[in-house]
Amino acid sequence: MQCDGTVRPNPPTDRRGAPGARTSGSLAILLGSLLHASTAFGASADIRTSANGCADYDRERLDELLAIEAETIGAEHPARPSDVVLECRGSVVSFRVSLRDGSDTRSGMVDPGAADRASRTRLLALAISELFAQLWSRAPEAPPAVARAAPPAAERPAYATWGLRGGAALRSVLDPRAGLLGAAVGADYWLLPSIGLGLDVEGVFGNVRSEHADVGVTLVSTSVHAVAGLRVGDVALGAGPGVRLGLAKFAPQVTSANAIGHDVTGPWAGPFGLALAQWSKAGFAVYASFEIGVVTLPVVGTLNGQSAELALRGAWLAAGLGAGAAF
């Protein structure tokens, strides 16, 4: 704000009267000034001023006027702690008023021209008070709420932790050795990207030509296994041990006149080693497996209850290929 002009003092007034009247009038004026100054300085506790080269202004009177203006403005808007910085070049003064919490700053300039020292001071106080009114009329900004960090949600691993699969199963087993074909369904759970557990249920079927009969063979089994390995992108490779437990049924059709055949049913079991490969993408998975094991709980079909005709014993080989879901 720039103001030019001269503020002229009021003409002197001829005060004539008794000495006592003049004395009592002076005392009243002095008392009023002291009370007014006391009120003003009490209201200025939230205002700090600093100046550089402002000899053309009455600093003490400026502080009094600012305190009076602050009291007036504070009647409408709560006073906020403020700092006033003055920079003077001759009678021209630049000033900056800032809230002490750093939330806002305003600045201005006064050029009083040829006004006397008292008028300059009054003009500067009015200009500064305008900035007080602007700054204090704005509601203080609430401190930013401290957001409490929510407990971290359990993040889904980058790899599929669960898999469900189904597919074809091929098993080479028996004595004499024969190939059996069927199906298997299973589930896998990956504890870590390279460590998993699995469970499957399998049923394979076939016909075996023994020395004296054609034997229909049914093998139903379930297995559990663990694998450890590595994961390369969407492909998981692993190998590990497992155990298989099942039920075998031999249903012979005797082709020899001097042979008697009966159905044979019994449990079978054995440990195995497994190699597994899995590719998964967007919830879809393809599985391939290879298994080698040995029967430790055999099932034997005999001829006439004496010599072995067909037996589930020895080593086995198995392979599987399937597809399913990964999630």
Whether residues 31 and 118 share a domain: the answer is yes
Q: Which residue has the tokens 């003409």?
A: 11
Whether residues 166 and 298 share a domain: the answer is yes
pLDDT band at 30 (very low <50, low <70, confident <90, very high): very low
252 vs 39, more confident: 252
- Look at residue 4 and tell me if it is in a domain: no
The total of structural domains in the chain comes to 2
Whether residues 131 and 222 share a domain: the answer is no
Mean pLDDT on 271-293: 92
pLDDT at position 70: 86
CATH number of the domain encompassing residue 115: 3.30.160.100
- Look at residue 122 and tell me if it is in a domain: yes
pLDDT band at 71 (very low <50, low <70, confident <90, very high): confident
Mean pLDDT for the chain? 80
Whether residues 167 and 314 share a domain: the answer is yes
Whether residues 295 and 246 share a domain: the answer is yes
Domain boundary among 81, 103, 137: 137
Three-state SS string over 53-85 comes to CCCCCCHHHHHHHHHHHHHHHHCCCCCCCEEEE
pLDDT band at 315 (very low <50, low <70, confident <90, very high): very high
- Look at residue 188 and tell me if it is in a domain: yes
pLDDT at position 160: 60
262 vs 5, more confident: 262
- Look at residue 253 and tell me if it is in a domain: yes
Mean pLDDT on 81-86: 90
- Look at residue 298 and tell me if it is in a domain: yes
Whether residues 177 and 65 share a domain: the answer is no
Whether residues 197 and 75 share a domain: the answer is no
pLDDT at position 151: 53
Burial (CB count within 10 angstroms: exposed 0-12, middle 13-18, buried 19+), residue 130: middle
Whether residues 85 and 233 share a domain: the answer is no
Q: Which residue has the tokens 């006592």?
A: 20
Judged against a pLDDT cut of 60, whether residue 20 lies above it is answered with no
Whether residues 166 and 288 share a domain: the answer is yes
pLDDT at position 311: 92
pLDDT at position 270: 97
Domain boundary among 98, 121, 137: 137
Whether residues 225 and 314 share a domain: the answer is yes
Percentage of the chain surpassing pLDDT 90? 34
User: Mind listing the pLDDT tens digit for each residue in 158-200?
Assistant: 556 888 999 999 999 999 999 999 999 999 898 887 888 999 9
Mean pLDDT on 202-212: 91
Flag whether the pTM goes above 0.75.
Answer: no
Whether residues 170 and 307 share a domain: the answer is yes
> Which residues constitute the domain of residue 248?
162-326
CATH number of the domain encompassing residue 179: 2.40.160.20
pLDDT at position 133: 86
- Look at residue 47 and tell me if it is in a domain: yes
Judged against a pLDDT cut of 60, whether residue 206 lies above it is answered with yes
Whether residues 242 and 191 share a domain: the answer is yes
- Look at residue 180 and tell me if it is in a domain: yes
pLDDT at position 291: 97
**At what angle are helices 59-74 and 19-43 packed, to 10 degrees?**
70
- Look at residue 67 and tell me if it is in a domain: yes
